Amino acid sequence: MNRKLRMGMVGGGIGAFIGNVHRRADALDGQIELVAGAFSANPKRSRQSGKELYLDPNRVYGSYQEMAKEEAALPEDERIDFVTIVTPNSSHFEIASAFLEFGFNVICDKPMTFDLAQAKKLRTLVRKTGKVFALTHNYTGYPMVKEARDRVRKGRLGRILKVVTEYSQGYAVGDVENAASAKIASWRTDPSVAGASNCMGDIGTHAANLGSYITGLEIDELCAELTAFIPGRLLDDDGNVLIRYKGGAKGVLYASQISNGDENNLNIRIYGTKCSLEWHQEYPDELIVKYADKPRQIVRRGNDYNSSVAKNNTRIPFGHPEGFIEAFANIYLNAAKAIRAEVSGKKMPKELDFPNVEDGVRGMAFIDTVVKSAKSKSKWTKLVRT
C-alpha cells in the first residue's frame, strides 16, 4: 500500500482550535492526507473551510450523513480510509456510529460520548464492525509518558502506593465580577451539549486517562466534590477526587478551570515502593525519577537510554524540544498503523498503542461516577464499566 492514508474530517471548520491541531497532527509525518470533510453543520461554512484547506470541492460536504454515504459510494481507491470526528461530544455517538456502519475506521475526539450509556453502545458497535476506533487522549502520545508507562510495566517503581494527578487551567475565571472574564466555550457548560460535567468531562478525563495509561491501575471507588464557582454556571468548573485503586493504591485527582494563571497545567506523580515518577505536561521532554537512596534523575527525551517505546514515538534528537502537536501526531501515527492493516486486510500489529473504545468507556464511567459521588455528599462510589 504505497500511498498516504486518506482522511475525512467531521467538524473542525477553519478557526476551530482542535480541528487545526488534528490537521497539523495528521500532516506532520507525511503518512496521511486530508481529502474530504463536513467541517460545519452550516454547509456554506463547510465549503469555505474546504476551500481554505485547498480541498477538492466535490469532497466537501454539507453534513456528516451526506459525507458518510457519498464517500462510501466512491471507488475503493478514492474513498477515505478513516474519518476524524472533532465536533462537540454530544454528537460523537451518532456520527461515529454512522461512519462505522458505513464501514469506515474512526478517530474521535474525547470525551467519547455524551454519557456512559452511549459509550457502552459504541463499544458494542466497534466490536461488531471490527473497525479501528481511536480516541484522541493525546497526552498519552508524549514520549516521556510512554517512558513512564514502560518503567511501571517493567516493575522499576515496585508496587505503586500513590498517584497524584492534577490538571488546572485558569481560563474560566479572572475577576468573577467582570462578565468578560467568565468566558468559556459556551457549549462546554451547557448540560444539553456537554453532558453531566464540564470540567471533569473536559479535562478531568484526560487526567484520569493519563493515570490509567501510565500505571495500569483501575479505579475501584472514588469520593468526589464538584464546584461551580462562577455564579450562574450550570456545570462544574472545578473538582477534587479521592481515589481508591484496585490493589490498594490511593489517589488524589483534581481538575480546575478557575485556577487563575494556570495554563494547561497537567501534572502527574506516581509513587512506588522502589522509586517515584513525576511528569509535567508543560515541560514534556523531561521525566523526573526520584529515589530514596540516590540522586534524582532527569530522564530526557531522545537519549539512547530511553526505552524503545519512547524512542519509537520520537522524531528529533535530544535538546530539540518536541511539543503538543508531536504528541498528538503520535496518536495518529499509531492509529494509522492499525488503519493501514485494516484497509489492506492485513493482520493487526501486535501492540496497538493508542487510546481505544475501552478507554472511552472508562472515561465516561469516570465522569459518571464522579458526578454520582458529588451528588451524594462525596460518598465513596464504585466505578463500574461493564
Q: Taking CB under 8 A as the rule, does residue 322 contact a second copy?
A: yes
CB 251 within 8 A of CB 243: yes
Residues contacting residue 312 through CB under 8 Å, at least 6 positions apart: none
**Residue 48 interacting with a second copy (CB under 8 A):** no
The residues, any chain, with a CB within 8 Å of residue 271's CB and separated by 6 or more, are 160, 161, 162, 163, 164
207 to 236, contacts with a second copy by CB under 8 A? 223, 225, 227, 229
CB of 273 to a second copy, least distance (A): 5
Q: Interface with a second copy by CB under 8 A: which range of 50-58, 109-117, 201-209, 336-344?
A: 50-58
CB of 323 to a second copy, least distance (A): 4
Residues 6 or more apart whose CB falls under 8 angstroms from that of 317 comprise 302
Which of 105, 136, 169, 313 is in the footprint of a second copy by CB under 8 A? 169
Question: Rounded distance, CA 368 to CA 383, Å?
Answer: 8
Is the CB of 195 or the CB of 251 nearer to a second copy?
A: 251
- Provide the residue type at 132 as one letter: V
Q: How far is the CB of 141 from a second copy (least distance, A)?
A: 12
Give the residues across from 219 on adjacent strands: 245
Q: Which of residues 89-128 bind a second copy (CB under 8 A)?
A: none
The residues in 251-310 that bind a second copy, with binding defined as CB under 8 A, are 252, 254, 256, 258-265, 269, 271-276, 281-285, 289-300, 302-305
Residues 174-193 that bind a second copy (CB under 8 A): 174-177, 181
Q: Which of 280, 250, 277 is nearest to 263 (CA)?
A: 280
**Which strands form 265-272's sheet, in the order they lie side by side?**
286-290, 276-280, 265-272, 160-168, 250-256, 238-245, 219-227, 381-382
Q: How far is the CB of 235 from a second copy (least distance, A)?
A: 16
User: Considering the rule CB under 8 A, would residue 333 count as an interface residue with a second copy?
Assistant: no
318 binds a second copy, rule: CB under 8 A: yes
